[in-house]
Structure 1
Amino acid sequence: MRVSSICEDCVCYDYDEELEAFVCTTDLDEDEMERFLKGTNTACPFYRPGGDYKTAGKQ
């Protein structure tokens, strides 16, 4: 599974109007960011599955 597809399904992946792009809203420290960018950590520890149906059900 591609990282981008994992991110697209995550609750922490939101649209930033200033950047006009989708970004991860999780606050990663330097070590976590380095591992993420290098791809050495295949599973994001902050990944929380979400979706339109799950989010709408909570409202």
Structure 2
Amino acid sequence: MSNINCCDTCTFYIYDDDYECYTCDRNLDEDEMVRFLSDSQYQCPYYRCGDEYRVVRKQM
């Protein structure tokens, strides 16, 4: 799986205390959600790398 579709590394993939699980913080519309779930080549337009050490590595 490419990083662009890996929710685990996305900034918007957050823990929801109400549901007690991780969820996407972006509201995908119905068409986007169907494409995301059914098309393995679909690239999420909201994906942002959640690597909190990325900035530090750039400074080194």
Q: Same fold (TM over 0.5)?
A: yes
Aligned-pair CA distance for 1:34: 1.0
- Residue 30 in structure 1 maps to residue 17 in structure 2: no
User: Once the two structures are aligned, what percentage of the paired residues are identical?
Assistant: 43
Of the structure 1 ranges 45-54 and 6-15, higher mean CA displacement relative to structure 2 is found in 45-54
- Cα gap change, 1:52 to 1:42, in 2 (>3 Å): same
> TM-score normalised to the size of structure 1?
0.72
| Structure 2 equivalent of residue 47 of structure 1 | 47
Deviations 1:1-59 (A, max 9, x none): 168x710110010000111100011111111111111125521111011123358xxxx
Structure with greater Cα Rg: 2
Of the structure 1 ranges 21-30 and 33-42, higher mean CA displacement relative to structure 2 is found in 33-42
Deviating beyond 6 angstroms after TM superposition, the runs of 4 or more aligned structure 1 residues are none
In structure 2, runs of 5+ residues without a counterpart are: 56-60
In structure 1, runs of 5+ residues without a counterpart are: none
| Structure 1 equivalent of residue 6 of structure 2 | 6
Q: How many residues align?
A: 54
> TM-score normalised to the size of structure 2?
0.71
